[in-house]
Structure 1
Amino acid sequence: MRKLSNILQLGIKELRSLYRDPALLLLIVYSFTLSIYSQATGVPESPFHATIAVVDEDRSQLSARIIDGFQEPYFLKPSYITLSEMDGGMDTGRYTFTLNIPPGFQRDLLAGRRPTIQLNVDATQISQAFSGAGHIQRIIDDEVMEFLRRYRGASATPVQAVVHMAYNPNLVQSWFGAINAIVSQITMLSIILTGAALIREREHGTIEHLLVMPVTPFEIMSAKVWSMGVVVLLATALSLRFVIEGWLAVPIPGSTLLFLGGVTLHLFATTSMGIFFGTLARSMPQLGLLIILVLLPLQILSGGMTPRESMPVLVQDIMLAAPTTHFVELAQAILFRGAGASVVWPQLLALAAIGTAFFFGALSRLRKSLH
């Protein structure tokens, strides 16, 4: 009971220290609100109000149909310019796309030749360039094919594949982006908060006070793990309810309580990692550099951005030791596919085992650094 009381009181002390740190509080609020929203909606699924200019040197029925295909809200009303104005408009950033329809385009097409249309893309407009170029290509292809067939409508094919989109019927990018963002924020914040809590003790000189008190390194570490873990867990629950389900309108078919249980096991591992990094670093800048070196590989290679199956087998095997690999599988299974405990129990078991190993590894390092 005395040990439990020490862990409780030391954890409350950590919460009070965090309450007096406005920078970390602002980071927590931003990471679980605006950061998730911006990551979920930052990459557009299609162009939106993209600026386009057209050099129509053909002045034919087909060129007019192609230009009429650029409709709002995907594109602003196309601007008619001359060939000499095209480079200037791109250089000054007035147009993201410029389309040059050459003279005799319709005549050459009807004669069976293969005329070309020049499309210039301002690749510095990253959010619009890549999705917009593909969108323009589809518009041109559709209008040309319909013009040659003399009617609008899909042509009959011998075999037709009926596609059913499971779990995300409309392929809404923000659904995947929001879940991936909250997984990343949970990992990042838990490591930062626990590492910063240990470094704060060293910078403020309170670590010496703890050493002369009747508390053990196990109690010190347990207090930091549970207090910072509770903060991240609470922020996760609020963000899931009000930002992801409310603001972004992402449906959650699975059990929120089961997901939060998985978050708890994941936090057990990542907060221990934060303690370990806090023993290695001597200042907050050093902690930040260590976290960057570790966090980026964890996010990229855990399967949150690209499927693990597309990675080399050696990388897949190595990443099985990372808690993020199992947490990403668990989060996607519950929040996308509505999986229950009977499906995700291997990930829960793996997180518990990895968290235990990380906890005692960090505890051993903490004992050495304190003595």
Structure 2
Amino acid sequence: MRSALRVIGAVCVKDLRLALTERVFLVIGVIIPVNFLFLFSLFALTGGEAPIAVVMQGQGPLARQFVSSLEHAHSFQVHVMSTADAERQLQAGRIVGVLTVPGGFDDDLRAGRRIELPVEVNNLQVDFTNDIRRAVPLAITSFYAQAFPDQVVVQAREVDIQAGDTGYIPYLAVSIVVAGMFVEGLLQSVVLTAREYEESTIKELELSPASRWAVALGKVAAGLVLTAAAAAIVTAVVVFVVGVHPVHPLEVMLYGVLMMVPAVALGVLVGTLLKRRQAAIPLALGSFLPLFFLSGPFGPPNWGGTAVISLVSPLTYAIALFQHAFHGYLTAQTPLAVDVAVLVGFAVAAVVAATAVLRRGMMA
């Protein structure tokens, strides 16, 4: 045991020293998840609500109350402007639709007369178009129920399962933390392992009496150290820049280790099989991206059509665990203990597979 620990430590130190000469990949491992966070955050900020113009021909209190209902419909970015300005903005593509509140809106409502609200829609983008088609009638119903409660006797009463709403960016930022840990562990171990074969330094390990299991565990340990450093940077960006603070900080560290182990071990596996960085790096990145998108980074995978496929991805369980660590709720259908057990199983299987392939490659 003492000899094995010395081998693990020696291999770990050797790989860490080697990693310092590959500074580009150290930086890339941090840049990729931070770029993901930036780009997806821009998508969330600009794509969550449809920008519309409201032309106020009627200026009464009921007309203003109706516009307030539009603003609180969670579907629109409402901009009140003149007819001419609204048309210019619509033609320029800066807004999706123009809703006109006609003159005499208040008087017609109080008299019980039929009112038509013209809505001009640029239906170039179907998501925004459907938002307007759904949310305008809903806003009208909500407004009418508030303005004339005696006439609308059927109203919806919302009962929330969670204590509070989670914004799109806070949810997405937690998924990016998981992505950062995974891609950093994968890249670092792929580069270090493949470089051993490219520079033939693997022969020194082949000729040594060191246990092949100890060599593999040493490489995993080095990958964990490098990945933990990069993960700490990405997590700090999410906590201190984005402002998403974990409800259970200790869980973040525990689940982080569980996530990094299979990522690093898979990197050792791929690097050993391909033995060339030019082949291993594209494969690692190419396999990570579809795995990430299938694992529920934007919402629980069981809400979409990828639930079955996502079950084979360790990222699915890691995202669910990290959402609990940061937000205090579970996004998966499985209990917390099952998610932990599955992630441990992924970690053990990945280490065993990486060790077996490395051992066979060193003996060949």
Superposition TM-score tier, normalisation by shorter sequence = 0.7 to 0.9
Task: Provide the C-alpha distance between the structure 2 equivalents of 1:115 and 1:132, rounded to a whole number of angstroms.
Answer: 16
TM-score for the superposition, normalised by structure 2 = 0.74
After superposition, give the CA deviation of every residue in 1:76-97 in whole Å (9 maximum; x if it has no partner): 66364399x76xx66765x333
* Aligned-partner residue type, residue 119 of structure 1: V
1:251 deviation in Å?
3.2
* Aligned-partner residue type, residue 134 of structure 1: D
1:132 deviation in Å?
8.8
**2:95 alignment counterpart:** 96
Q: Percent identity?
A: 18
User: Cα distance 1:170–1:311, how it changes in 2: closer, same or farther (>3 A)?
Assistant: closer
**2:184 alignment counterpart:** 189
**1:19 alignment counterpart:** 20
Task: Provide the C-alpha distance between the structure 1 equivalents of 2:165 and 2:129, rounded to a whole number of angstroms.
Answer: 19
1:223 aligns with 2:218: yes
User: Cα distance 1:91–1:269, how it changes in 2: closer, same or farther (>3 A)?
Assistant: same
1:360 deviation in Å?
1.7
Task: Provide the C-alpha distance between the structure 2 equivalents of 1:39 and 1:344, rounded to a whole number of angstroms.
Answer: 27
Q: Secondary structure at the match of 2:121?
A: strand
1:178 deviation in Å?
1.0
**1:273 alignment counterpart:** 266
* Aligned-partner residue type, residue 45 of structure 2: P
**1:204 alignment counterpart:** 199
Task: Provide the C-alpha distance between the structure 1 equivalents of 2:90 and 2:320, rounded to a whole number of angstroms.
Answer: 44
1:164 deviation in Å?
3.3
User: 1:282-297 residue pairs with structure 2 within 5 A?
Assistant: 282-297=275-290
1:172 deviation in Å?
1.6
**2:159 alignment counterpart:** 163
1:75 deviation in Å?
5.3
**1:325 alignment counterpart:** 316
After superposition, give the CA deviation of every residue in 1:171-209 in whole Å (9 maximum; x if it has no partner): 321221111111122122211211111112233343334
1:247 aligns with 2:241: yes
Task: Provide the C-alpha distance between the structure 1 equivalents of 2:212 and 2:101, rounded to a whole number of angstroms.
Answer: 76
Q: Secondary structure at the match of 2:328?
A: coil
Task: Provide the C-alpha distance between the structure 1 equivalents of 2:51 and 2:326, rounded to a whole number of angstroms.
Answer: 37
TM-score for the superposition, normalised by structure 1 = 0.73
Task: Provide the C-alpha distance between the structure 2 equivalents of 1:157 and 1:102, rounded to a whole number of angstroms.
Answer: 25
After superposition, give the CA deviation of every residue in 1:119-171 in whole Å (9 maximum; x if it has no partner): 11564xxxxx956973697468747985x89958897545552433625x243
After superposition, give the CA deviation of every residue in 1:211-238 in whole Å (9 maximum; x if it has no partner): 3344343233212211111222233344
**2:173 alignment counterpart:** 178
Task: Provide the C-alpha distance between the structure 2 equivalents of 1:117 and 1:96, rounded to a whole number of angstroms.
Answer: 12
* Aligned-partner residue type, residue 246 of structure 2: I
Task: Provide the C-alpha distance between the structure 2 equivalents of 1:351 and 1:40, rounded to a whole number of angstroms.
Answer: 28
User: Cα distance 1:67–1:10, how it changes in 2: closer, same or farther (>3 A)?
Assistant: same
The answer to whether the 8 Å contact 2:7/2:210 transfers is yes
The answer to whether the 8 Å contact 2:195/2:275 transfers is no
**1:337 alignment counterpart:** 328
**1:78 alignment counterpart:** 81
User: Cα distance 1:257–1:234, how it changes in 2: closer, same or farther (>3 A)?
Assistant: farther
* Aligned-partner residue type, residue 368 of structure 1: R
After superposition, give the CA deviation of every residue in 1:29-73 in whole Å (9 maximum; x if it has no partner): 32454543543454127778x87678x7x96669x96997798x9
Task: Provide the C-alpha distance between the structure 1 equivalents of 2:57 and 2:329, rounded to a whole number of angstroms.
Answer: 55
User: Cα distance 1:212–1:37, how it changes in 2: closer, same or farther (>3 A)?
Assistant: same
The answer to whether the 8 Å contact 1:47/1:131 transfers is no
Structure 1 unaligned residues grouped into runs of 5+ = 124-128
Structure 2 unaligned residues grouped into runs of 5+ = none
Task: Provide the C-alpha distance between the structure 2 equivalents of 1:301 and 1:11, rounded to a whole number of angstroms.
Answer: 33
User: Cα distance 1:271–1:304, how it changes in 2: closer, same or farther (>3 A)?
Assistant: same
1:307 aligns with 2:295: no
User: Cα distance 1:154–1:196, how it changes in 2: closer, same or farther (>3 A)?
Assistant: farther
**2:339 alignment counterpart:** 347
The answer to whether the 8 Å contact 1:298/1:324 transfers is yes
Count of equivalent residues: 349
Q: Secondary structure at the match of 1:366?
A: helix
Across the aligned residues of Structure 1 and Structure 2, the Cα RMSD in angstroms comes to 4.4
- Decide which of 239, 243, 258 is 2:251's aligned counterpart: 258
* Aligned-partner residue type, residue 97 of structure 1: V
**1:126 alignment counterpart:** none
Task: Provide the C-alpha distance between the structure 2 equivalents of 1:115 and 1:312, rounded to a whole number of angstroms.
Answer: 37
